[in-house]
Homo-oligomer: A and B are copies of this chain.
């Protein structure tokens, strides 16, 4: 019974080169689609490839991308968070209100907003896990509630539906260094949120592929009963995922607040689906258990490039959504084609 493990080559496998092996990663389809869209707009518009142009679409992509990566982790773990978009508004409004209206220290305000966001994320997880209701519905309820609260509370406290005078708050500029600054690189004026985006994508990828928690995320999303049976702490994993998404909402909320120095009560509404779209274009399965963080980041890149590319191309703006739809379909089809070529079944 001490047969040695057979050699890795096996007559029952067709030889597959490095390229095919690479092509099997979930994000490769998205990478090819992103490249196609990049080339398309680079060739067909003038401003797209200029430093100022690149900085614009990268920034646009980064705001979607940070959330998309978090949402992708959650989706791999088998859940949705429709309150992710509204959370961006909620956190921004909290910081805005407590600083401009009540004069709370701005750093403290950041911490308060983060704590509230994480608490809401944990509450989502708790309700989903305890009741067994689909997260789609639970977080939809959270979304509605946040949307209503954002509006009503902002109105009650400030008398208007947006935060004014944020840039006059003491310490604003110090915080702006982390969330709203930009630096020069290759002639571009790179916003700091792009750095956050890349760093988070790298971190998420490492967690997914090289840590225990990553293994568990795939497992709870792929087959929750089996995971429970082999002893994966399902509750903890889901709790962590919902809190991560809420935390990402906070981060994006801060990035937006300290960039434009204002936030409206309607901020973030309707954005939740964009995150899901980015994740799916990037190769995540809606049913959970499969996907990648890099893919989601690429999905956001595709979205950001398309959104700004259409403007650079000066197409009639009324068609915006139609173009977006077409591009979306194109991206997923390219994605599919590439993956089929690589012999991966969806």
A interface residues, Cβ below 8 angstroms from B: 127, 131-134, 136-138, 140-149, 151-152, 155, 270, 273, 277, 280-281, 285-287, 316, 318-326, 328-329, 332-333, 336, 346
Contact = CB atoms under 8 A, between A and B. Distances in A.
Residue among A138, A146, A155, A328 with max Cβ neighbours from chain B (10 Å):
A328
A258 B234 CA distance: 52
**Interface SS, A side:** helix
A176 B174 CA distance: 64
B132 A322 contact: no
Given A131-B336, A140-B277, A336-B133, A148 B325 contact: yes
Contacts of A140: 273, 277, 325, 328
Contacts of A136: 280, 286
Contacts of A270: 270
A70 B93 CA distance: 39
Nearest to A329: B141
Contacts of A321: 144-145, 147-148, 151
A318 B144 contact: no
A306 B26 CA distance: 43
Given A145-B325, A326-B145, A134 B280 contact: yes
Contact of A318 (B151, B277, B328, B332): B151
A335 to B, nearest CB: 9
Task: Say how many copies of this protein the assembly contains.
Answer: 2
Given A147-B321, A322-B147, A316 B152 contact: yes
A13 to B, nearest CB: 24
A319 B150 CA distance: 9
A149 B277 contact: no
B280 A318 contact: no
Residue among A127, A137, A323 with max Cβ neighbours from chain B (10 Å):
A137
Contacts of A143: 325
A152 B322 contact: yes
Contacts of A332: 133, 137-138, 141
A334 to B, nearest CB: 11
A323 to B, nearest CB: 7
B286 A141 contact: no
B336 A142 contact: no
A316 to B, nearest CB: 6
A346 B134 CA distance: 10
Contacts of A147: 321-322, 325
Contacts of A149: 319, 322
A231 to B, nearest CB: 23
A319 B156 CA distance: 11
Given A141-B329, A277-B140, A325-B141, A319 B131 contact: no
Contacts of A280: 134, 136-137
